[in-house]
Amino acid sequence: MKKYPLILGLITLALSILFFASIIWGEVYLSFPELWDGLRRTDPVVQSILWNIRLPRALVAMAVGASLSISGLMMQAYFKNPLASPGLLGVSSGGALGAVLYIGYGSNWLGMWGLPGASMAGAFLATFLVLSLSEIGLGTQRLLLAGIALNALLGAATSFVLSLSVSSFERSGQILFWLLGSLEDRTWEHVWVSLPLTVVLGFFITSLGSPMNLLSLGESGAQSLGVNVRQFRWKMIILSTLLTAVATAVAGVIGFVGLIIPHIFRLLLGPDHKRLIPCCLIGGAAFLLGCDLISRTLNIGLRVGVITSLIGGPFFLWLLQKRAV
């Protein structure tokens, strides 16, 4: 397909431009000479802005966007439905509940890995519940509705934990951060938690394009062509849940990225996962960088999770209308 290299090149260029814009744009604009001084660490003020605030925030945004996008693509391949995504199936809410419980009642003996660990536990619990529903024979449309109900249940549990934490201003503020989804005050600690795992898993997932294409033919067809369907489906769900959990642990609940990006590239490139996987990784990173840049430019207190919802809500309604679900 001739347009695949063009699209891949364009989104890579967009990612580069948005990354550059993210490190120079903000409350304090960094000119090219100031940026160069900051990179060389000759100006302590610019160095602090660049290395302690903007670079970590941009890298976390890229990791979270790529993780949620590729996680959504894998869930759509697993359930054979483009409406599936970590947010709609309750996986993001499960990760948020785990993180909120850890913030409210956890100890710090696990250090920086405690919060991601709790988020992973919550995300895997939500995934287990969704898979249990799929095993009892619900169709994909009813399964998505069950996921929405699970989302509401997990959201209610999170709100209950928040109501118990109102006496502590610090804890309630942290919990609200996870509920709204934000990239503010991200540090290199968050980068080391999210970026290496996203890079490693993303590189591994790029090798799964062919079996994902075969799985779209049906389980019996994929099995006859050499795919261990049961093992491969478990691999897909574990990888997508891990990526969603880590993204939620470092940035809170950021919705619709896993729905919008895979669907856009599927419209542009067709159903070939060998092409969709790299495009979703790069496109998801660029999309969330762009949303974060919008939230910073508007400067009216809108978190990035609100921006993605404002974009994703109408997109989801359009998708429902198009599919006549």
Give backbone dihedrals phi and psi of 253, rounded to 5 degrees, phi first: -85, 110
Closest Cα to residue 264, out of 254, 253, 255, 276?
276
Inform me whether the pLDDT recorded for 285 exceeds 50.
yes
What is the 3-state secondary structure of 238-266?
A: HHHHHHHHHHHHHHCCCCCHHHHHHHHHH
- The predicted pLDDT at position 295 comes to 85
Position with higher pLDDT, 229 vs 104: 229
**By the 8 A CB rule, do 110 and 84 touch?**
no
pTM: 0.88
Mean pLDDT of 63-77: 93
For residue 112, pLDDT over 70 is answered with: no
178: tokens are: 């996870």
Q: Which domains does the chain have, with CATH numbers?
A: 3-16+60-293+303-323 (1.10.3470.10)
Residues 71, 262: Cα–Cα separation, whole Å? 9
147-198 pLDDT, tens per residue?
778 888 888 888 888 777 766 666 777 777 767 778 888 888 889 988 999 9
The answer on pLDDT for 292 being more than 80 is yes
> Which residue would you say has higher pLDDT here, 37 or 217?
217
